[in-house]
Every structure is written in structure tokens, then in C-alpha cells.
């Protein structure tokens, strides 16, 4: 992940991100923690950035530390709009976290339930 891309991502600059993608930036490049831009934007609740990345073909089900995906990170961040966007785009809701207490063996739905977030549960179950 280039510094320019990472800076634009962290600032949520959708137009600059579009330009960088048009110039050949790898949409699925990893940061120093092994996370994709989609994971970072989902965890931060950057709905417009997530929408752009999904529309441009970002890999939705890649995982990083503890086998957490963008969908799971959106749940952890408590961002219902991002959760719904990712579910509607076809993110895998059956992937399970690993390793860390609180994540091991849990799906996005399990994480939402553990957090007591019925709004996130509704996004994940279609209710």
C-alpha cells in the first residue's frame, strides 16, 4: 500500500482514491498489519469508501489477524450501514475468527450478538 493511497484512505478522500485506482493502484494491497483498504474502511465506518471499493471489485472476504474480514471489522466497529452494504454485496457471513478470546470460532453474527447489537444482527440476518 503506497503512502499516498494510505493517506487518502485514512482521510476518506473518495475522489482521490478513484483517481489512484484509475492510475493502477492495487485495490487489494496490504498495509503493514496485513489489512486491505476495505478492512480499514469498514472498521472505520467509511461508508462512501467501502461503497467505492466494493464497486471497484475489492476482495470482500480476505482476512487478516485473527482471521477477521471487512464484514467482521465493520461489526466490531458498530457500523450498521457498512455491515448492510457488505452483506448486500455478498460478503461471506460464515467466516469464523481465530486465535484471540472473543474472536475464536465466532462469525460476524456471533460478534454482533456478543456486543448486544440487534441492529447489526438484523443487517446480518436480513430481518
What are the residue ranges in the chain where pLDDT is below 50? Answer: none
The pLDDT score that the predictor gives to residue 87 is 97
The pLDDT score that the predictor gives to residue 106 is 95
End-to-end, the C-alpha distance of the chain in Å comes to: 37
CA distance 47 to 54: 10
The pLDDT score that the predictor gives to residue 10 is 93
* Domain annotation for the chain: domains and CATH numbers: 3-125 (1.25.40.20)
Work out the angle at residue 35's Cα, subtended by the Cα atoms of residues 74 and 38, and round it to the nearest 5 degrees: 50
Amino acid at each position: 500500500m503506497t503512502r499516498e493511497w494510505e493517506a487518502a484512505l485514512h482521510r476518506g478522500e473518495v475522489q482521490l482514491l478513484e483517481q489512484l485506482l484509475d492510475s493502477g493502484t492495487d485495490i487489494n494491497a496490504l498495509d503493514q498489519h496485513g489489512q486491505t483498504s476495505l478492512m480499514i474502511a469498514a472498521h472505520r465506518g467509511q461508508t462512501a469508501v467501502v461503497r467505492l471499493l466494493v464497486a471497484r471489485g475489492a476482495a470482500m472476504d480476505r482476512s487478516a489477524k485473527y482471521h477477521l474480514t471487512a464484514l467482521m471489522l465493520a461489526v466490531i466497529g458498530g457500523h450498521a450501514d457498512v455491515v448492510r452494504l457488505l452483506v448486500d454485496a455478498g460478503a461471506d457471513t460464515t467466516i469464523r475468527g481465530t486465535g484471540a478470546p472473543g474472536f475464536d470460532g465466532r462469525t460476524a453474527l456471533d460478534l454482533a450478538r456478543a456486543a448486544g447489537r440487534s441492529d447489526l444482527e438484523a443487517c446480518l440476518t436480513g430481518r
